Structures are given as structure tokens and as C-alpha cells.
Chains A and B, each alone.
Chain A
Amino acid sequence: AQSVTQLDSHVSVSEGTPVLLRCNYSSSYSPSLFWYVQHPNKGLQLLLKYTSAATLVKGINGFEAEFKKSETSFHLTKPSAHMSDAAEYFCVVSGPSGGYNKLIFGAGTRLAVHP
């Protein structure tokens, strides 16, 4: 079975400082892992995906995530936060369930960016 835990429900940073959103996963299989972002009253936008091709995954808008199997982690980082990064971020694991790859969503981390 797959599961995902986002370790912080809220993260607050100042503009221009680094962002770290933490995610741990559990999977019986070699997982696919995603980060999605949701701005207020909008749908989910794919930031990046880990597909086992490389452990450091670069996404859109300067975000990247590193897959660490030994730590079962897939933390999302950005070197310098921008005001437009304020949103909710979801870590997602995909794994086979009932004959297809089901997405299991974390509870989300709300990122606030202050001037």
C-alpha cells in the first residue's frame, strides 16, 4: 500500500528566502512521486514528477525535489521564494491499486510568502 505524509501543514517564509516543503512516502513498489500546486480557487498544476530517471528532479517556476530512497523522502525546494509562490502544495505518490495507478494525495502544505 502507498501513503504520503506532508510534515508541515503551514510554512511561512520571507520573499527571497529558500523554501523547503517536506514529504515522506511509503510504498511497497518503486513509486512515482509528484508535487502539485494549487493557487486559491484554481485546479491543481503539476510542478514536477519523479520517474526514477534521476533522483534530483527539476520542475517549473524554479522548484526542484530530491528523491531519497534511504529516507523515503521527496522534499520540495526553491532557492528564493517569490510572492506568487503563495499557494497550497500537494505531495502525491502513485502506485498500483485495483488494476491501475492510483494517486494518493498528501494533506497539503500551505505556503505563505511575506514581503
Chain B
Amino acid sequence: ETGVTQTPRHLVMGMTNKKSLKCEQHLGHNAMYWYKQSAKKPLELMFVYNFKEQTENNSVPSRFSPECPNSSHLFLHLHTLQPEDSALYLCASSQDLGTSGGAWADTQYFGPGTRLTVL
């Protein structure tokens, strides 16, 4: 266990559905991340939050909407997805964005992922 949990672990949805992915970290970290892992492609960073504020949106389509109500929780709201959005969605957290100077501050700890299938 890494201290980062994700629910649900598996999700199947139609293109017209609305669903949400949840991530929770129990590490006392201040930064949280969403990644997309598709078959045959490198890991893609989607969003970065630091102290609940979004610091990066990596040109992600608007059908993906992140929400970070506090430093421990991160959501990814999904609506009108496409079949090519099927992937493993990984959440991660780190102490901060690596700006504190601590050697381990930018080390990211990952959750188990949500396997999303869009029909």
C-alpha cells in the first residue's frame, strides 16, 4: 500500500454517461496529480494540483473536469467520453512540487489506478 487509494478500480461507461473517479491520499502531501496510461503509449500527465490550486492542465479535453476540494482528495469528473478515452487513470501525490528543496519532496506515490472502459 502506498497511502494513495482510488475508487472505483474498474468502470465501464457509455459515451453519454457522467461518472467520477476519486483519489484520496493519506500521506499528508500537498500536491496531487492525474495521469492517463494508454496501451502502447507513455504515461501522460493530465492535471497537477498544489494546495488545492490547479497548476497545470496539460491540454486535456474539457470532457475531463478535475476537482480538488482539499489537499487529500482529488476527483476526475467524466462526461461524454469517447472510446479512445479508455485507459488506466492513475492518481499520484507528492509532498510538494519539488520547490521546497527537500530531496524527496517531488517523489510521487501512485494509487492503484482506475481501469476505465468507454463503450
Tell me the A residues contacting B by CB distance below 8 Å: 32, 34, 36, 41-46, 49, 51-53, 90, 94, 96, 98-103, 105-108
**Beyond A100-B50, A101-B99, 20 additional pairs, beta carbon < 8 A:** A32-B103, A36-B110, A43-B6, A44-B92, A46-B2, A46-B107, A49-B104, A49-B107, A52-B103, A53-B103, A94-B106, A99-B55, A99-B97, A100-B48, A100-B98, A100-B99, A101-B105, A103-B108, A105-B42, A108-B42
Out of B56, B103, B106, B115, name the residue touching A41 (CB < 8 Å).
Answer: B115
Contact with A along B38-66 (1 / 0, CB 8 A): 00001101001010000110000000000
Q: Is the interface of A mostly helix, strand, loop or mixed?
A: strand
- A-B CB proximity, top 7 nearest: A101-B98, A100-B97, A101-B106, A51-B103, A43-B110, A44-B110, A43-B112
Tell me the B residues contacting A by CB distance below 8 Å: 2, 4, 6, 31, 42-43, 45, 48, 50, 55-56, 88, 90, 92, 97-99, 103-113, 115
In the assembled complex, the Cα of A62 lies from the Cα of B117 at a distance in Å of: 36
Out of B43, B98, B99, B110, name the residue touching A45 (CB < 8 Å).
Answer: B110
Q: Which residues of A contact B50 (CB under 8 A)?
A: 100
In the assembled complex, the Cα of A101 lies from the Cα of B111 at a distance in Å of: 19
